[in-house]
């Protein structure tokens, strides 16, 4: 019974991560991340589009890592 509950919890978390990744994909191509003709504010002398793009990439890496950890079909390692 507990194994099924754990699988259901992982499945729900995995679905939320997929939805977050899809939302982040859509937001990447909106003017929020890629505004036309805007380069300010800059961060460490990087233009706005570049540092927001780097932030999006870091968020995708974090989402991918979490998705691998919480994949419903992942086998748990036993010590």
| Whole-angstrom distance, CA of residue 55 vs CA of residue 32 | 12
The tens place of each residue's pLDDT in the chain, 79 residues long, gives 445 656 677 788 888 999 999 999 998 888 877 777 766 777 777 787 788 888 999 999 999 999 888 787 777 666 5
Q: What pLDDT is attached to residue 77?
A: 66
Q: What pLDDT is attached to residue 1?
A: 43
**pTM for this model (two decimals):** 0.74
Q: What pLDDT is attached to residue 2?
A: 45
Alpha-carbon radius of gyration of the chain: 18
43, β-bridge pairs: 46
């Amino acid at each position: 019974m507990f194994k099924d509950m754990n699988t259901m919890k992982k499945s729900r978390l995995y679905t939320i991560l997929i939805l977050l990744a899809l939302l982040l994909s859509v937001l990447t191509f909106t003017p929020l991340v890629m505004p036309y003709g805007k380069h300010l504010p800059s961060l460490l002398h990087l233009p706005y589009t570049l540092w927001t793009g780097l932030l999006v990439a870091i968020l995708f890496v974090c989402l991918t890592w979490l998705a691998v950890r919480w994949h419903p079909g992942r086998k748990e390692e036993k010590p």
